Amino acid sequence: MQVIHALCPREQVFSLAQQFEEQFDGQDAFAVAASGLVYNQPVGFVALTAREHFDDEFLTELHTHPDVTGYSLFPLIDDEVFGPFGCELVNS
């Protein structure tokens, strides 16, 4: 499983989550896991999950999306949620 934690301006968080939900509609391999506001910061977040991985085309789309100010991409192993894992930070 892969997870993306995307940051965006606070006022865009819910519309961005809706955009991804519509894009993933009918695709069991991808989902919007959560969305909300970051405490003490003027930003929001949208957490996306992929059953296997996000392809390069989607990552390019995310990297150039006008509402995404940065994102983290990392693997998540279901049975090791609190174990060590690699993390790639990407800022646009």
> Each residue of 23-62: pLDDT tens digit?
999 999 999 999 999 999 999 999 999 999 999 999 999 9
> Which of these, 6, 28, 29, lies nearest to 19 by C-alpha position?
6
Q: How confident is the model at residue 92 (pLDDT cuts 50, 70, 90)?
A: very low
**pLDDT score of 64:** 95
> Which of these, 61, 44, 57, 41, lies nearest to 5 by C-alpha position?
44
pTM for the whole structure:
0.82
Q: How confident is the model at residue 79 (pLDDT cuts 50, 70, 90)?
A: low
Q: Which two tokens stand for residue 42?
A: 């003027």
CATH code linked to domain 2-78 = 3.30.70
Which positions ≥6 away from 6 have C-beta within 8 Å? 16, 45, 46, 47, 48, 62, 68, 70, 71
* 89 has pLDDT over 70: no
